[in-house]
Amino acid sequence: MSRKGSDRNRARSPSGFYGWYMVGLASVIGILTGPGQSIGVSVFREHLSSGLGLSDSAIASAYLVGTLIASGLQPKLGAWVDRVGIRRATATLGVIFAVALAHMSMLHGVVWLTIGFFGIRFLGQGALSLTSNVAVAHWFNLRRGFAMGVKTSVTFGGMSVVPVLLALAIEAWGWRHAWLAAAIVILLTVVPIALFGFIDRPDDLGQMTDGDNSGTQVFSSGNAKSVPRSEAMRTGSFWILAAVTVSSSLLGTGLIFHQSNILGEIGYSNSEAAAMFLPTAVGTIVGGLSVGWLADRVIRPWLPACSSALVAMTTFLGGSTISFKAVLCYVLMLGLSMGAVSALNASLLPALFGVGYLGSITGFLGFLSVLGSSIGALAFSLGSEVFGDYRSTSTAFTFAPLVVAAIAVPYRRHFLLGSR
């Protein structure tokens, strides 16, 4: 930023620490990615099937291909964000996301559906999620874990309302106009927030990370040395986080995308299944805040294994619930595991590798996450054919996160500060 631009930002600097404003604004951006996340797309699944004359497997395959292509662009996206800055990147991506959502309102055939899935997955789950996390990470050091936990909790909590709002929009205007309405909302919210609310770094306002009065944390001892992505990828800690992320993304996407199928097998209607995303918000708040708070403390080395164990519990409950209380426990656990893994990565990546190349590192981990996510919907569709239904498929997949948790336990020393 130029000296003149820096002086102008200092002139409008708020009286308090702006980092918490950034947490709030980044949380709103995170919520607004909902139409591009599995939780939002799941509401359209049945309408896409009937409106385009496609089977569940065809839609899941389009979702797989579109998401796979999107995942390949994530590493380059992260490097671009590091280069141009959070503010400019988020504004640009917001405009393109709106265009991609508008495209979803004009679909005809599986090819255009695949292109549409590529656009909304790359921009929703990938690009804007990345910029919102990096935006917060730049403003905190000693309290980064807690700040990221707050951001994660608010994001997932608010995002749980997105499928309900989309379902109401579909009921009122039809599925095509619901996509168009989402595009308009994104254009009128994300772009202004980025241009007039986001500030790239504290020194642009003459401030310091944590507001320079964060108090002493038990586990932090200053800024981690910034290392490039190539060096981060040579560490055990990065690949443990990658394993936790991929298994969580794959299974979480499968469970969310097929929520109406899983709960439909025990008598829930589509609207009732969508409403069960609301209790998930409570779980994400608890998971995000808890892991964010714990990431700043001595229990941090155990968090990857514990987070993966939560994912295993979720898949087991997804296949074994029958009563309403059990279903409620399942959707709460789904939110808890999602919030935990998201806060885990957002907190530990900057703590271990610094913030200098955070966009690039986060982008590559995002690539792996989206890669896992791309397989999730189709894996559950194929699993239902092998095991007979979606609930049995969920139970069968429980082994995967258990294996990850077992591997993470002996590698916990890699998450001690300076060990990697």
Q: What is the pLDDT of residues 96-116, one digit of tens each?
A: 999 999 999 998 889 999 999
Residue 388 DSSP class? S
As a whole number, mean pLDDT of residues 20-46 equals 90
Q: Is the pLDDT assigned to residue 139 strictly greater than 60? A: yes
411 found inside a domain:
yes
> What is the CATH classification number for the domain harbouring 34?
1.20.1250.20
Residue 269 lies in a domain: yes
* DSSP state letters, 88-132: HHHHHHHHHHHHHHHHHTT--SHHHHHHHHHHHIIIIIIIIHHHH
Which residues form the domain of 381? Answer: 3-209+226-415
Cα-only R_g, the chain: 20
- The answer to whether residue 214 sits within a structural domain is no
Residue-level pLDDT at 223: 54
Question: What are 276-311's pLDDT values in tens digits?
Answer: 878 888 888 888 888 878 877 777 788 999 999 999
Average pLDDT, the chain: 84
pLDDT: which is higher, 222 or 332:
332
Backbone angles phi, psi at 202, to 5 degrees: -60, -40
Give the closest residue to 36 by CA, choosing from 112, 110, 96, 126.
126
HSE-up (13 A, CA, CB side) for residue 128: 35
Q: What is the largest CA-CA distance in the chain?
A: 65
**What residues contact residue 243 under an 8 Å CB cut-off, 6+ apart?**
308, 404, 407, 408
Q: What is the pLDDT of residues 228-259, one digit of tens each?
A: 888 888 888 899 999 999 999 899 988 988 88
Residue 24 pLDDT level (bands cut at 50, 70, 90)? very high
Residue 217 lies in a domain: no
Place of tokens 């503010």: 87
Q: Quick count: other Cβ atoms within 10 Å of Cβ 217?
A: 17
CB atoms inside a 10 Å sphere around CB 418: 8
219 in a structural domain: no
Evaluate if residue 12 carries a pLDDT over 60.
no
179-204 per-position pLDDT tens digit:
999 999 999 999 999 999 999 988 88
How many angstroms separate the CA atoms of 346 and 293, rounded? 12
- How many domains does the chain contain in total? 1
At 5, the pLDDT band (50, 70, 90 cuts) reads very low
At residue 416, does pLDDT exceed 90?
no
pLDDT of residue 212: 66
259/275 Cα distance (integer angstroms): 11
